[in-house]
Structure 1
Amino acid sequence: MLKIIYKGLWILLVIIANVYEAVQWLLMYLDSKYKLLKQIYFNNLDGIYEIKVLEECKSILTKKPNHVCAIIGKTFDSSSEILSKLAAYALICDIDFISFYDTKEEFTLDHIHIPQFVSSQKMSNGRFLWSMPADKKRVGQLKYKNGLDKSIQVVSLSCKDGRPLLAEVCKELWLQRDSDEIKDAVNNKNKLADKISSEIQKKLNNLPDPDLVIIFDKIMCTYGLLPWNIGFSEFYQVKNSEFFNVDDFANILYKYSKCEQRFGK
């Protein structure tokens, strides 16, 4: 009798979970359609709506991230459209670095579609430099007020840049254990931590630590992302990337701006 009751309760819970997930998907779908209609209303044929949203967002932010990292989760379809939009949004918001951490080892920066208003060049360290020169600053009917060129470095990260990189750096320092510098660092935890950090930064071509991490996945997980570098990062989750747009990115920046970081104080 109890087995029948437990089985019935389990079936009921599964049905409730499926209904809840379906309702969530429906709400996100309706919200995306509403935002699409809003973009059409603003004649968003050439990116005018996105730029207006992001320029308004920048004007009220109290702080902005220097480095935004996107985690491409296990359940995320590596859509170049979504990732390209994210890089373009970050460029418009004057963010200096954007990195893509691929948990499935399928993504490369060559998959990123470069917008028409962006000039891109490949750098010697494997990154891309996206910029908006003065002659390309007019997009649609909206002209940028800032006379300075905008630029952003687009970086690809993999699982090898996580714990394996940390282990590699520690192994190299162990091999140098007889040097005076390492002996001194071993006797001082802060010096040792600074030494490890500086060596990791060299391996990452001086990529700054992520200030803001956006997880594109149904599961809230870092998947081993730069374990030494994310101590002060703020994390936000996008469960369904299919409906991710400029309003969602602006909302994430708003939340990040309002977040008070005391850095352990």
Structure 2
Amino acid sequence: MLRVLYRIIWTFIYLLCSFVDFVKSMTVSLHKKYTNYYKTLRLEDELKLITQAVKHMDKTPSHIVFVIGNENISFRDLGNVIVWCIAAGVSFISFYDFEGELKKEEAHFRSIVSEVHKKYSGYIVWGNKYPANGVQNINGTKNGMDFLRKVKVKMFSLTDGKENIVKVTHELCKSVKENILNVSDINQDVIDRMIGVHSGVPDPDLAVLCGSLCCTYGLLPWQIRVTEFVQVHSHHNMSFEDFLCVLYKYNKCEQRFGK
């Protein structure tokens, strides 16, 4: 009898917490909806505010990865994030969804961004082609870029991180077998460099977890050893103030690198 009573109590607590979380989610969503509806700032004004804010930060991320998680993908909102990253001087931005939907819809994503942000589409470099203006890939430092520099955009899924590690392992084994490389020469720097070649981007400085669940969803297991994680409620209806808040949180992080 007592066990049944405990079960009823825990079920009630679970339902109550779920209801509170639902109300909180709806409140935030409605607030953002009406805030965005009445907001009078033009995109150009937002970009200028972001650029000015970044100048007063001690450090900005060179590579940001947005983890979509279990949310439905909003291509327009992700397109806004890309343009904000251009204004912030971010060199690389990646989008990760473990099911790989973004990679499948990359052409559709590109067309939406080009349509909505036609003025800035020339500053976006998609896929494996590096920008011609020599973007920096030094992690965790202020890159000192001027307003509106090119940003490299790439999509990742669950298989990418694992496949890169497998490819690097095969290459190392082959190099040792053919006496090109000694086993003693294999260290963390060598592996980092080889994985970086396969991924096409440097290790992310900042990962933004989108959604109510705090989970990495298998995000690039080797490359996130020193990545800072910040969680946002959702990437849907994300405002430039939310984006700036993420940058401010990263700026305040003290990275000790295990020391």
**TM-score, with structure 2 as normaliser:** 0.81
- CA shift digits 1:164-219 (9 cap, x unpaired): 21022112211222455532xx336xx521221121122123x1111111112332
- d(CA) in 2 for partners of 1:147, 1:212: 21
Aligned partner letter, 1:78:
I
Q: CA RMSD in A?
A: 2.8
Q: Report the equivalent of 1:164.
A: 163
**2:242 paired residue among 235, 248, 254:** 248
Distance 1:204-1:15 versus aligned 2 partners, 3 A rule:
closer
Report the AA paired with residue 163 of structure 1: K
Give 1:127 shift. 5.0
Q: Could you tell me which amino acid in structure 2 is paired with residue 216 of structure 1?
A: C
Residue by residue, what CA displacement relative to the aligned partner does 1:20-75 show, whole Å, maximum 9, x if unpaired? 213311441354156426x62xx32x3144224313321321110101111121x2
Q: 1:103 to 1:124 in 2, by over 3 A?
A: closer
- Aligned pair count reads 241
- Given the superposition, is the C-alpha separation of residues 249 and 19 from structure 1 closer, same or farther in structure 2, using an over 3 Å criterion? same
Show the counterpart of 2:78. 83
Greater length-normalized contact order (CA 8 Å, ≥ 6 residues apart): 2
Q: Which residue of 190, 214, 217 maps to 1:195?
A: 190
The aligned runs of 1:185-264 (5 Å cut-off) are 186-187=183-184, 191-205=186-200, 207-264=201-258
Distance 2:5 2:177 in 1: 68
8 Å contact 1:127–1:156 — kept in the other structure?
no
8 A contact 2:126–2:152 mirrored in 1: no
8 A Cα contact 1:101 1:158, kept in partner: yes
Residue in 1 that maps onto 2:140: none
- Give the AA of the match of 1:174: C
CA distance in 1, matches of 2:165, 2:79: 29
**Offset at residue 246 of structure 1 (A):** 0.9
Cα shift readout 1:63-106 (whole Å, capped 9, x = no counterpart): 10101111121x21111011101111101111111111121111
Q: Which moved more, 1:147-156 or 1:121-130?
A: 121-130
Contact 1:65–1:95, Cα closer than 8 Å, also in 2: yes
- Give the Cα separation in 2 of the matches to 1:244 and 1:130: 30
The residue aligned with 1:120 is 122
In 1, Cα distance between equivalents of 2:126 and 2:234: 34
Rounded to whole Å, the distance in 1 between the matches of 2:247 and 2:147 is: 22
Q: CA deviation at 1:163?
A: 1.8
Pair 86,169 (structure 1): closer, same or farther in 2 beyond 3 Å: same
Aligned to 1:20: 20
Verify the 8 A CA contact 1:97 1:154 in the aligned structure 2: yes
Query: Does the CA contact (< 8 Å) of 2:126 and 2:154 recur in 1?
Result: no
SS where residue 242 of structure 1 aligns? Answer: coil
Q: Which amino acid aligns with 1:66?
A: S
Aligned to 1:29: 29
Q: 1:70 aligns with which of 40, 44, 66?
A: 66
**1:57 aligned partner, one-letter code:** A
CA–CA separation in structure 1 for the residues paired with 2:249 and 2:2: 48
SS at match of 2:93: strand
Q: How far does the alpha carbon of each residue in 1:210-239 deviate from its partner, in whole angstroms, 9 at most, with x for none?
A: 111111233222222222211111111123
Greater fraction of residues in strand? 1
**Are the structure 2 counterparts of residues 198 and 251 from structure 1 closer, same or farther at C-alpha, using a change threshold of 3 Å?**
same
Distance 1:84 1:209, change over 3 A: same
Unaligned runs of 5+ in 1: 132-145
Q: Which amino acid aligns with 1:171?
A: H
TM-score by length of 1: 0.79
Q: What secondary structure is seen at the aligned counterpart in 2 of 1:177?
A: helix
Query: CA 1:81 to 1:72, structure 2 compared with 1: closer, same or farther past 3 Å?
Result: same
